[in-house]
Chains A and B, each alone.
Chain A
Amino acid sequence: MSRNNIMGEAAAVESGSERTRRLVHQGLARRRAAELRFRAYGIASISIGMLFLVILFSSIVSNGYTAFIQTELRLDVALDESIIIPDGKVSAEALAEADYSALLKQSLAELFPDVTDRQEKRSLYGFLSTSAVHILQETVEHDPSLIGQRISIKVPVKDDVDLFFKGRVDKAAAEEDRKLKDNQIVWLDTLKKDGRLTAGFNRAFFSSGDSREPEQAGIWGAVVGSALVLVITLALSLPLGMATAIYLEEFAPKNRWTDLIEVNINNLAAVPSIVFGLLGLAVFINFFGVPRSSPLVGGVVLALMTLPVIIIAGRSALQSVPPSIREAAWGMGASGLQTVFHHVFPLAIPGMMTGAIIGMSRALGESAPLLMIGMVAFIVDIPKDFLDPSTVLPVQIYLWADSPERGFVERTSAAIMVLLTFLVLMNGTAVYLRRRFERRW
């Protein structure tokens, strides 16, 4: 649209829509910049998060992967009859009581014949782990026909030798600051050159319980303890939590009492976990007399802690089911229970599973309440049932992190790796289950 001005020339004047278009255009650059900035913030946050994750994992793995390797020493042991069965008869007691340590010392002495000084001999024999004797004993007991022969067995070495072999000993440090002395290092180098010091898979880590000796310490006791505790936690908190959520959401009248209950449940979800430990100590152990340190009391304490999380997530999942589904079911003449279990609950399962995942992950990683009920004790045996004293993975990690021996440093990281794997497996299962139950409406 144009009008003639005073001079009679046509001048372009903006129409209303042209003006709008110009104004919108002017603002576009600023708006685009804001969008890009926001995206940049998002990418930056994710990157920082991932960076920290990578740093965390790489530090754990680099510290811990060597714990899965155990250095072994190959010895040629002469199974001297006169030492094992002095009276010539092969019997269970004789085999059990024989002086295997003398045989092992003898085989070491054979390797280094010029070591004669008593002090030096002691430091040579100190290479072997105290479990070497048991391994020799088991070998002989398994096949007594070997008595009188010369056999070659691999025995685990003590933790300082193990660390030396893995390269974690600082050779440059002064001798007084090291556990391994110079002469020992010379002997070890000889053994390594002879091919007698080899690295093997640390089976003991996955089959034995805790031990004072780092090379014999294993995670299995804690894994079994964690599994037992989690079984009880799941068995108690999941059905109870789901049923409570269903009742509060679908059946309970909406009055002041139910409001009070809801407020209290929300508060319980925020209570520090150690309080539940105190509760377990006071009520279950002192009053009901449940055995201390047992998975039973640990599981019950963690179930109490997990219940509020499951209830809250469950209620939220039930609320998100559209009311039209309920109306349809009621209109058909379905009773309250039928409506909930045939229609509402199946649609709410994914949300409930999310709550269960969050609750279980928290339960698996909790140590404070379990410390209160005694699971911090030094437990050597693998627990056999729900009433045996046991420990759990997070507590085991805490105990090992606290230990002075250098050998426990790598084992702490290895235990963390095991715990994280446990967690990932558990969450993976739950996510898979959630996806299977996912139904679109």
Chain B
Amino acid sequence: MQNPEKLSLASLAGRDFTGTVGDIYAQDSRLQCRDVDVFYGDKHAIQGVSLDIGRNEVIALIGPSGCGKSTFLRCLNRMNDTIPACRVTGEIMLDGHDIYAPNMDVVPLRAQVGMVFQKPNPFPKSIFDNVAYGPRIHGLANGKVQLEEIVETSLRRAGLWDEVKDYLLHPGTGLSGGQQQRLCIARTIAVDPEVILMDEPCSALDPIATAKIEQLIDELRGDYTIAIVTHSMQQAARVSQRTAYFHLGRLIEVGETAQVFTNPRHQLTEDYITGRFG
């Protein structure tokens, strides 16, 4: 259904891209990305993306496979540094500092901007040690009692405390998939981050576990800023306030979730949402 107000269809190669549609700025933003480019060797994976991520909001990054949403997410906590052939240019500001500045230390950055991965990856240690690892290495607890408090708080916030409180010394890998993912979220929360990045956190989980995680994201929103990459448009519609649509490395459209899904302003966005590709 063609809406005459829509901009003309940019070719799939992105030749006629004229800029992101929608408001990339946020009122009270936590992270400001300006003109970010990512190269994997010669491949130009992310092209000139600018985006604000607002405080205490959940922003969903959607798009077809290979569009670069995970790559962009990993830029936000410099996880792309771990890939040798990867080069990032542009500015990403957190609290007024460019996280890609040469003198920026990655270690505290990753404590401020935490990450939850697609496949749950708890450490092969006990549940307690999993959650306690972050506070231990960053020196957040003075003594055992404080450490135990942090672990309990994190597990409660992640909605896992009641299920594991009697099994804290059991290995984290012995939990079910959904519980493991909540453990990973608890582990991330334990270092008191400001931003939590989630890279398709529910794609390896069953619907019930997925529902629990989505509910958890909603609860966490009060304290943290969350950016979530998701393949499921329904999930994006359920959990997020803003949605950003990526296509072949470019940011095509950004806006309020409701608007993007019911009344997308770019043809590519509409094609993706209606299932013409993806």
Chain A residues within CB distance 8 Å of chain B:
253-254, 324-335, 338, 342-343, 347, 439-441
Contact = CB atoms under 8 A, between A and B. Distances in A.
A329 B191 CA distance: 13
B134 interface: yes
Given A332-B111, A333-B111, A333-B191, A327 B137 contact: no
B173 interface: yes
Contacts of A330: 79, 82, 110
Interface residues of B, number: 27
A333 B138 contact: yes
B151 to A, nearest CB: 14
Contacts of B122: 328
Given A324-B117, A343-B123, 18 more contacts: A253-B84, A325-B121, A327-B117, A327-B121, A328-B121, A328-B123, A329-B123, A330-B79, A331-B79, A332-B114, A332-B137, A332-B188, A333-B191, A334-B107, A334-B133, A334-B137, A440-B124, A441-B124
B184 interface: yes
A400 to B, nearest CB: 50
Interface in B102-147: 106-111, 114-115, 117, 119, 121-124, 133-134, 137-138
27 contacts: A253-B84, A254-B84, A324-B117, A325-B121, A327-B79, A328-B117, A328-B121, A330-B110, A331-B77, A331-B79, A331-B110, A331-B115, A332-B111, A332-B137, A332-B188, A332-B191, A333-B108, A333-B137, A333-B138, A334-B137, A335-B137, A342-B137, A343-B123, A347-B124, A439-B124, A440-B173, A441-B173
A335 B123 contact: no
Interface in B36-90: 77, 79, 82, 84
Contacts of B119: 324
Contacts of A440: 124, 173
Contacts of A253: 84
- Which DSSP category, helix, strand, loop or mixed, fits chain B's interface? helix
Interface of B: 77, 79, 82, 84, 106-111, 114-115, 117, 119, 121-124, 133-134, 137-138, 173, 184, 187-188, 191
A332 B84 contact: no
A342 B133 contact: yes
Contacts of A331: 77, 79, 110, 114-115, 117, 188
Contacts of A325: 121, 123-124
A420 B55 CA distance: 69
A338 B77 CA distance: 18
Contacts of A347: 124
Contacts of B188: 331-332
Nearest to A328: B121
B155 to A, nearest CB: 16
A340 to B, nearest CB: 13
B110 A328 contact: no
Contact of A332 (B82, B124, B173, B187): B187
A255 to B, nearest CB: 9
A254 B82 CA distance: 12
Most chain A CB inside 10 Å of its own CB: which residue of B111, B117, B121, B173: B121
